[in-house]
Amino acid sequence: MKRFRNQTREQRSAGSDDKKIQRGYMFAGLMLLSVIIVILVSAAIHRSKDGQSVLAEAPDYVTDQLTVWSGEPAPSPYSFLYARTSHLVSEARYAEIPDLSVGDHEVAILLRMNDGTTRTENAVLTVTEPVMRMEAGTTATAEQMLGSSFKDAVITPPVSQFTELGSYPVTVSLNGRDYPFTLIVQDTTAPLVTIKKNLHFYVNQKLTAEDFVESCEDLSEVEYHFSAEPTTLSEGTHTVQLIATDSGGNSQTYDLTYEVGGDGEAPMIQGVTKMQTVAGVRIDYLRGVKAIDLGDGTVEVKVQEPAGFDIKQPGTYEIVYSANDSAGNIGKETAELVVLPAVGSLDSLNSEDVMRMGDYIVGELKKVTSYGERQGFARAIFDYVQTHMQYVNGTNNDDWQQAAVSALSLGYGDSANYYGLSRLLLTCAEFDNMMVERQSAQEINQDDNEPKQVEWYAPHFWNLVRVNGAWYHFDASPYYGGNDFFLWTDAQIDYFSAMHGNCYERDKSLYPLTPN
């Protein structure tokens, strides 16, 4: 019995040691597990840029959004996967069949990972209408309208064919596939309106947009309306807004300021009458013509020749006169212009017809010569006569106006023509002038006991002209030797005459004296 008890005590002591050993192993295992956990947690910790420790984020597997065109099949769920993490996914599928109507739709994508776990990722599938938009008046590529992924796409037909606003079916071809698209040619640019200057209207005038608009630039039709009906009930300064809207719905507002005053009566154009000229000779249509307005007084008159008018072609034409006042009233008159043949028509002309010819030339000279510098302007007339005709003997014409017209239409003549054309231009330029006629040989010697030698037989005519208060000889007829008989005194002309066979002999009692 005692031996049994001793064995039992030994056995019990041995069992106690075994338990201590087991506890030691368990403690060591827990310590090892703790170290492993610490290592794993440390591995999961990283340093951020600012030096603070943060837990690493879980990797992204699916993009937030994917866009497809309406009419295309649903994209593969694998299309949503990021390339950088797709190798961790063994399988991807939709939780439900995606909605392919136009708009944004949430989709759930089930992923089976390589480690056997599963997860669900959410994304947005955007279904877009296959529409491209192009500004009217321009051309655009598929890349410009659809994005860089369509850089190599080809549009059929070419967009250059579509110049009008509207929607057109086209095909976009890319990577061997054809996509049906709608091309919308649109106008998104507001009209550019140029407003008239000097907006002045009369009392009670009915105003429309056309009264304000000078021009408009836009690719489509433009309509106008006012912010309020523009008033003309009272004189003074008024304001209104004009809104211009094109077919694309683009609008631009213009603030307008205008004056109201005066009446609605157009200017009265006076002095308009039938006119005549000969082929090739222009006339001043405004000789004797003026316009009077009740509000503005004398206003400018403008002249319009008919389309295709040629002064060299004989015929009957209609000349239109118009005059505008500051209120926008327009007065109009018409006159008949008869262009006669250059030969055989001089007798049909009246004095006013001839004076219109002179006024036209004087008007042209005024453009290049100071009218107020009288000696200089007389010189311009002298030079014009000499350079626009040639001397030919024997065309003596007793009518100075017919002589002047003959010189203008034919371009040649004798001293009568030179005198006639000079007289016409000097008269139209408001120079007092008169004709001087050379005496015949018989007249010179009839009362002279000592006859003078005479070396000429034909008549000769020239002008006396008053310039700056004094009279001078003015003979535009050319002479051999290059003498220039512009504003010569009696002494100069007499000396030349004595040296050249008394060619300038005249009855001096008939003419005013020149300066010494």
Domains within the chain, CATH numbers bracketed: 65-128 (2.60.40), 131-186 (no CATH), 192-260 (2.60.40.10), 266-345 (2.60.40.10), 350-516 (3.10.620)
Tell me, yes or no, if the pTM score tops 0.75. Answer: no
> How many CA atoms within 13 Å lie on the side-chain side of 147?
5
Q: Which pLDDT belongs to residue 219?
A: 82
The span from the CA of 159 to the CA of 445, in Å, is 98
Evaluate whether 408 touches 421 at the Cβ level (below 8 Å).
Answer: yes
Alpha helices in 57-160 (DSSP H): 142-146
The span from the CA of 438 to the CA of 419, in Å, is 12
DSSP string spanning 389-405? -EE-TT---S-HHHHHH
Q: Which pLDDT belongs to residue 159?
A: 87
Q: Which pLDDT belongs to residue 6?
A: 47
How is residue 245 written in tokens?
Answer: 């809207």
Q: Which pLDDT belongs to residue 469?
A: 97
* 256-286 pLDDT per residue, tens: 999 988 777 899 999 999 999 999 999 999 9
Question: Which residues have C-beta within 8 Å of that of residue 356, sequence separation ≥ 6?
Answer: 275, 277, 283, 284, 285, 287
How is residue 91 written in tokens?
Answer: 């399988």
Question: Which residues have C-beta within 8 Å of that of residue 122, sequence separation ≥ 6?
Answer: 62, 106, 107, 108, 109
The span from the CA of 266 to the CA of 194, in Å, is 25
Q: Which pLDDT belongs to residue 132?
A: 87
Evaluate whether 418 touches 407 at the Cβ level (below 8 Å).
Answer: yes
The span from the CA of 21 to the CA of 26, in Å, is 9
Number of Cβ within a 10 Å radius of residue 94: 15
Q: Cis omega (within 30 of 0) on the bond before 157? A: yes
Q: Which residue type is seen at 357?
A: M
Q: At 178, which helix (H) or strand (E)?
A: strand 177-186
* 160-169 pLDDT per residue, tens: 888 888 899 9
Query: Of the candidates 516, 499, 502, which has an alpha carbon nearest to the alpha carbon of residue 448?
Result: 502
Dihedral (C-alpha) 149, 151, 155, 160: value to the nearest 10 degrees? 130
The span from the CA of 118 to the CA of 96, in Å, is 16
| Length of the chain in terms of residues written | 516
The partner residues of 342 in beta bridges, in order of sequence, read: none
Low-confidence ranges of the chain (pLDDT < 70): 1-58, 395-396, 441-457
Evaluate whether 320 touches 334 at the Cβ level (below 8 Å).
Answer: yes
Place of tokens 């990577």: 175
Q: Which pLDDT belongs to residue 178?
A: 87
Evaluate whether 352 touches 287 at the Cβ level (below 8 Å).
Answer: yes
